Amino acid sequence: VTSRKPSVFFYFDYISSNAYLAWIRLPEILARTGFELKPVPVLFAGLLEEHGQLGPAEVRPKAIWMFKNNLRKAAQLGVPLNPPVHHPFNPLLALRATSLPSAEAGLGALIRGLFDAVWVNGRHISEPAVVEDVANAAGLDGAQLVAEAQTLEAKTRLREQTDCAIDDGVFGVPTMQVNDELFWGYDDLPYLELHLAGEDPLDPEAVAKWLLGRQPSAMRRRFRT
Amino acid sequence: VTSRKPSVFFYFDYISSNAYLAWIRLPEILARTGFELKPVPVLFAGLLEEHGQLGPAEVRPKAIWMFKNNLRKAAQLGVPLNPPVHHPFNPLLALRATSLPSAEAGLGALIRGLFDAVWVNGRHISEPAVVEDVANAAGLDGAQLVAEAQTLEAKTRLREQTDCAIDDGVFGVPTMQVNDELFWGYDDLPYLELHLAGEDPLDPEAVAKWLLGRQPSAMRRRFRT
C-alpha cells in the first residue's frame, strides 16, 4: 500500500542546526495539514559552491548570531541544542548512509539519531563508528550501512540528489518543497503551514509581474566570473 | 532635553525589502518595550564585501524566494510591497542624504519616504531628483540635502558608519543592536522583543561555553585568500 498523501520534500544536511530544529517541528505541521514528509539528504557545501556562497559558519559574526538565534529557538521548543565542538565537519558519510535504500526501514529514527548525535550529544558523525552506532540504535544494520555508504553508487546518489535540488532552485538548508514552491529555513515554517493549509497570503500575480519586469541597474563584481 | 530611553540601533540600507518591513514593524515593538529607535544607514554592499558574501539579489533562486517571502510578510502586515524594476540599484546617495545632520529634523519621514519610493512606488532613488523630491515631501530642503550628500564629508560619514557596524559584528541588514546584542533580519524581531522585554530565552552560559570550545574539523577553501 503506497501513501496517497501529497508530499513535502525536506532537503537537509546534518551540518545545519536550523535543519535539526525544523526536523523536530515538521511532523506536527504535516499532521495538521495532512501531508507526508519525504526527507532528501543533500550536501550543503555543494549548494554553496554552486552559487559561490559562504555558509553561516564561514562568516564569524554570522556564526555567532546563528547559534544564539538557534539556541533561542531550541529554548522555546523545549529541546536541547548543544552546538558541537567540531563544526563545521564533514557530513558526507552520514548523508550517504541516510540516502541508502537499505536505510528506509528505519529512516526517521536514523535521521533523528544523527541529528541528535551532532546537536545534542556532541558526537563526531564524520567517524564511521559513530554512524554505525547510531544506525544500530535506529534498528538498522550499522556495519552494513556504513560499508554500503562508501560505495560509488552511494556517492553518486548523494551527488545526484544535490544536483537535482539545485536544478529545482534549492540554495540552502533546510528547504521544504511542495510542488514547485520552496520554503527556506526554520523561520519559513509558518508560511509553509499557511501554504499547506490553502491559506498562502502570496499573490501569484504579483510574483509573475515582478519576475517578468526585473531590470537590475547596479550589480557588484561577482567573485566567480 | 535629551532622551533617557535606552536605544535600539537599526542598521539598514534601502536596498533591503526586509529592512523596509522591519522599519514598519519596529515602532510598535519599541513602544511596547520602552526603547528608542536610532537609525544608522550602512552600505549593505560594504558588509557583503567585508565578509566575501553575496547578497540575496545576487543568487537568482534566493532572490526569487526572498521576494515571495517578503510579499507574504507584507500581505500579513497589510502593507504594500511592489518590488521595483530597478533592483539591485545604487543606494549611496539616499544613504548619504539620510546620514546628514541636517536631515535629523525630518529623519523618520525621510526614511519612510525613501523606503516607500523604492518598495511601494517603484521610484529609482539612485537619481538625485527623486531623493530631492522625497526629502521635500518630508519637510526638508531637498536641494540642499542632495548637494550636501555629495560632499566628501557625507561620503566619509557613511563609510565610517558602515565600518563601525562591521566592527560591532554587523554582517547584514536589517540588524537591530541593543548594547552588544545583535538581532538580524525581519524574522528576528520576535526575539528582539523578548530581549527588550527582559524575557530573552537565551542562556548566556551556553553561548560562552560554545564560543570557548569551538574547533572546526572541516573547512572549505575560501573564495578570497
Q: Where are the beta strands (DSSP E) in A27-82?
A: 36-41
Q: Across the strands, what pairs with A182?
A: A177
Q: How far apart are the first and last CA of chain B?
A: 50
User: Does ipTM exceed 0.95?
Assistant: no
Residues in chain B with CB shorter than 8 Å from the CB of A179 are none
Q: Do B72 and A200 touch (CB under 8 A)?
A: yes
Q: Per the structure block, which three cell numbers stand in for B121?
A: 512606488
Residues in chain A with CB shorter than 8 Å from the CB of B203 are 71, 75
Q: Which of A17, A166, A171, A200 is most worth mutating to test chain B (most B CB atoms within 10 A of its CB)?
A: A171
> What H or E segment, with its residue span, contains residue A94?
helix A92-98
The answer, yes or no, to whether residue B3 has pLDDT greater than 60, is no
User: What is the number of other CB atoms lying within 10 angstroms of the CB of residue A10?
Assistant: 21
pLDDT tens for each residue of B65-98: 999 999 999 999 999 999 888 888 999 999 999 9
Distance from C-alpha of B29 to C-alpha of B114, rounded to nearest angstrom? 22
SS3 A198: coil
Q: Do A201 and B68 touch (CB under 8 A)?
A: no
User: What is the number of other CB atoms lying within 10 angstroms of the CB of residue A85?
Assistant: 16
Place of cell 559552491: A49
Minimum CA–CA partner of B80 in chain A: A206
> What H or E segment, with its residue span, contains residue B178?
strand B175-178
SS3 A146: helix
pLDDT tens for each residue of A108-141: 999 999 999 999 999 999 999 999 999 999 999 9
User: What is the number of other CB atoms lying within 10 angstroms of the CB of residue A153?
Assistant: 11
Cα angle vertex B74, ends B72, B80, to 5°? 130
Q: Is the dihedral of CA A126, A19, A223, A59 positive or negative?
A: negative
Q: How far is A54 from chain B (nearest CA, A)?
A: 6
Q: Do B218 and A88 touch (CB under 8 A)?
A: yes
pLDDT of residue B75: 96
pLDDT of residue A224: 37
